[in-house]
Structure 1
């Protein structure tokens, strides 16, 4: 069977990915906050795969909780938004094949990965591996390049997409890995790279600070 991806996590099968999510679900009691960092980050990436992700995320994700059963005997996940409101989401729905928008978004992230890596290396070479939010010293294992200073990655991607005629106007090469590929039109890829470089206001946070900032 084909490999399956949730964010950067690769699973041998979709069933293996589903089992990883189920382990998070049953690691906590109903009503509990998902407070382990790796579990929180997995659910953030999982929620991004939902076909109604924007509506579920709303103003941003503050935390996740384990919701009581709504239909049948099984608990589920609940998003706690930054404004205090709550909404449930189905992890089964998230694990359905990604929409074309999600596939393009994954490729867009991959196309600008060199910019993110170069920013991190430049800060490291300058001896300024500190959080731009709290001033906390950082190390290689506790550092996240973040968009918290300006428009989110989603905002930058959507603005670019509107200028080229929508998501369907961006044709992708056949995937070499599930969910990934390249822009087939390399001139368009260069335009996206330049657009991202022009609009991305990058900064450094600790991994903990980054995971707790509003997610859109």
Structure 2
């Protein structure tokens, strides 16, 4: 059975990944908030794998809670959104194989990583590590580059996919790293890099501020 990734976390098999999620689920009591930072981050990355992630996340994730059983004897996870609303999600659904669109989105993020890193380095060199939302000073270990001031990453990617003829027309090389390959057509990869660079309006937030925003 092939290895499985949840965000940057690598598991030997999907079964191992599921057991890691279950370990979080059963470490907390029903109704309690998942207050461990690493547990919270794991669930954020797990939720990104859900085929209805945007609908589940809504305006942004404030926290996760352990929901009482809905069907059968087992508890589950619940998203507490930043507007106070709540919705459950199935971790088993999240562990299903990613769609081609999800795979391409992951590769797109990797293909423009140099732009994100360069933006952060420029802000650090200029001595402007401040949250562009709250204006609070940021530590390098508590900083996220965010798209909160303009079109989201997904909106930029969707527009490019449409111009390329649709998600299914974008071919990827075989995956050899964190669930990622590369664009098979390197000319198309350069077009994507330029498309992203021309449209991305980047800014800095604290890690927590960024976590509370929609994951787009």
What residue number does 1:214 align with?
214
The alpha-carbon deviation at position 180 of structure 1 amounts to 0.3
Deviations 1:97-137 (A, max 9, x none): 11111111110000000001111111111111121122222
Q: Matched residue of 1:72: which SS?
A: coil
Q: Matched residue of 1:31: which SS?
A: coil
Q: Residues 48 and 215 of structure 2 are in contact (CA less than 8 Å); yes or no, is this contact kept in structure 1?
A: no
Unmatched 5+ residue regions in structure 2? none
Deviations 1:150-194 (A, max 9, x none): 122111111211111211010001111252010011111111111
The alpha-carbon deviation at position 205 of structure 1 amounts to 1.3
What residue number does 1:25 align with?
25
What residue number does 1:104 align with?
104
Give 1:8-23 correspondences, 5 Å limit: 8-23=8-23
Distance 1:33 1:197 in 2: 38
Distance 1:53 1:130 in 2: 29
What residue number does 1:182 align with?
182
Distance 2:158 2:40 in 1: 25
Q: Residues 40 and 211 of structure 1 are in contact (CA less than 8 Å); yes or no, is this contact kept in structure 2?
A: no
Q: Taking structure 1 as reference, are residues 3 and 22 closer, same or farther at Cα in structure 2, changes over 3 Å only? A: same
What residue number does 2:167 align with?
167
Question: Number of residues paired by the alignment?
Answer: 216
Q: Residues 61 and 79 of structure 1 are in contact (CA less than 8 Å); yes or no, is this contact kept in structure 2?
A: yes
What residue number does 1:61 align with?
61
Unmatched 5+ residue regions in structure 1? none
Q: Residues 142 and 206 of structure 1 are in contact (CA less than 8 Å); yes or no, is this contact kept in structure 2?
A: yes
Q: Matched residue of 1:180: which SS?
A: coil
TM-score (norm 2): 0.92
The yes-or-no answer on 1:119 pairing with 2:119 is yes
What residue number does 1:48 align with?
48
Give 1:187-202 correspondences, 5 Å limit: 187-202=187-202
Q: How big is the alpha-carbon RMSD for the aligned residues of Structure 1 and Structure 2? A: 1.7
Distance 1:54 1:209 in 2: 18
